[in-house]
């Protein structure tokens, strides 16, 4: 590895990059959805319609920033900030390339899990402070969903942690030089992906929003840039989960030498962002009880089984099992 880069450059670069990617994804999603629905999507403003993002942003800024008189004002204002902050904080532990990481925490994954749990507060507080029955219903659903899927989101990652022997994402990526963890931890990958979709409350699992039942769920009362923050937070969440899937199961920046590591990382991440959008394009929304049932009755046993089997195999491989006295 070369000399370390000035951390301020990394922080600035990551922040600028993410805050460009998040609105850019809105355009990307609209184009991809259109592609899969045999349409063109936004293609008028600027090359391939990318400037539609700028138009959307300007529109959001000029909308009336309305706080309902019946709302709990302080909490109402804080809630959208929480989602953006927690997701941005989670990116602290993501290694974009060797050495390009804001801070290499030795508890990296735990930090991410903690931050994504905090993200649930924005939904709960936003829905509660709106003082609106639809918002509250959305928030309640969101809380139940996020907390349930949080459980096996953590558990599904433990297989990777067992294999690599570290919580630090940089170490995890480095230990995938021989083989990507998607092969030995395929079940872990699938369960983490499902939990990640539920965690970002993206379309098959967008129960907290569920526009056909709950108007817009927890952000029914939000307008202008406060709504924009929820929106940006959602797209940052997609990027985060995609980046983590790449780091944990698809070898992060590792790849053949003809492309620089950062480009490999970005390419792989965009494949998963594309998968998220494909899910939105093709999946119907499950019923709320089906979602909970699926989580607790199917995914949780599978993740536990995966964890136990991985642990047993590792134990046998290390030879420690021979020393156990019965």
Binding site for another protein (CB under 8 A): 35-40, 278-279, 281-283, 298
Q: How far is the CB of 142 from another protein (least distance, A)?
A: 23
Residues in CB range of 57: below 8 A, 6 or more apart: 23, 228
Q: How far is the CB of 39 from another protein (least distance, A)?
A: 5
β-bridge partners, 97: 100
d(CA 36, CA 54): 24
Residue 98 or 286: the one with the smaller Cβ distance to another protein is 286
Q: What is the DSSP string of 202-234?
A: -GGG-TTT-HHHHTTGGGTT--HHHHHHHHHHH
Q: What is the DSSP string of 119-182?
A: HHHHHHHHHHHHT-HHHHHHHHHHHHHHHHHHHHHHHHHHHHHHHHT-S-HHHHHHTTSSS-TT
Q: How far is the CB of 281 from another protein (least distance, A)?
A: 5
Residues present in the chain in total:
326
Q: How far is the CB of 40 from another protein (least distance, A)?
A: 5
Q: How far is the CB of 297 from another protein (least distance, A)?
A: 9
Residue 37 or 106: the one with the smaller Cβ distance to another protein is 37
Q: How far is the CB of 204 from another protein (least distance, A)?
A: 9
* CB 205, CB 145: distance < 8 Å: yes
Residue 124 or 194: the one with the smaller Cβ distance to another protein is 194
Residue 82 or 194: the one with the smaller Cβ distance to another protein is 194
Residue 32 or 82: the one with the smaller Cβ distance to another protein is 32
Q: How far is the CB of 197 from another protein (least distance, A)?
A: 12
The residue among 290, 278, 114, 82 whose CA lies nearest residue 197 is 278
Residue 102 or 277: the one with the smaller Cβ distance to another protein is 277
Residue 226 or 268: the one with the smaller Cβ distance to another protein is 268
Residue 144 or 279: the one with the smaller Cβ distance to another protein is 279
Kindly state the DSSP code that residue 91 receives in the 8-state scheme: G
Rg (CA), the chain: 21
For 25, 199, 211, 245, 266, the CA distances from 28, given in Å and listed in that order, are 5, 21, 21, 20, 14
Q: Residue 321 burial by CB count (10 A; 0-12/13-18/19+): exposed, middle or buried?
A: exposed
d(CA 271, CA 32): 12
Residue 36 or 186: the one with the smaller Cβ distance to another protein is 36
Q: How far is the CB of 213 from another protein (least distance, A)?
A: 21
Q: How far is the CB of 87 from another protein (least distance, A)?
A: 26
Residues in CB range of 317: below 8 A, 6 or more apart: none
d(CA 210, CA 19): 26
């Amino acid at each position: 590895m070369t000399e370390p880069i000035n951390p301020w450059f990394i922080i600035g670069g990551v922040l600028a990059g993410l805050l460009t990617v998040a609105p850019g994804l809105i355009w990307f999603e609209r184009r991809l959805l259109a592609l899969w629905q045999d349409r063109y999507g936004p293609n008028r403003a600027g090359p391939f319609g990318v400037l539609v993002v700028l138009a959307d942003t300007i529109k959001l800024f000029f909308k009336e920033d309305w706080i309902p008189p019946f709302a709990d004002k302080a909490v109402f204002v804080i809630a959208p900030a929480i989602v953006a902050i927690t997701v941005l904080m989670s990116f602290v532990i993501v290694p974009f390339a060797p050495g390009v990481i804001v801070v290499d925490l030795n508890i990296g994954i735990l930090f991410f899990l903690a931050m994504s749990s905090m993200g649930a507060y924005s939904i709960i507080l936003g829905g509660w402070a709106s003082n609106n029955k639809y918002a509250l219903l959305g928030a309640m659903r969101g809380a139940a969903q996020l907390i349930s899927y949080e459980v096996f989101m953590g558990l599904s990652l433990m297989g990777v942690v067992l294999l690599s022997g570290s919580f630090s994402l940089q170490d995890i990526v480095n230990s995938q030089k021989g083989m990507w963890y998607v092969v030995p931890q395929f079940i872990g990958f699938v369960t983490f992906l499902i939990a990640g979709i539920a965690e970002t409350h993206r379309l098959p699992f967008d129960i907290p929003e569920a526009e056909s039942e709950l108007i817009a769920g927890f952000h029914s009362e939000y307008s202008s840039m406060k709504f924009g923050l929820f929106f940006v937070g959602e797209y940052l969440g997609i990027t985060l989960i995609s980046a983590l899937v790449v780091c944990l199961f698809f070898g992060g920046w590792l790849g053949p030498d003809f492309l620089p590591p950062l480009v490999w990382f970005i390419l792989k991440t965009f494949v998963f962002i594309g998968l998220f959008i494909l899910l939105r394009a093709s999946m119907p929304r499950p019923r709320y009880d089906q979602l909970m049932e699926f989580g607790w009755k199917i995914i949780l046993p599978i993740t536990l089984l995966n964890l136990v089997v991985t642990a047993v195999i590792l134990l046998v491989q290390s030879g420690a099992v021979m020393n156990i006295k019965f």
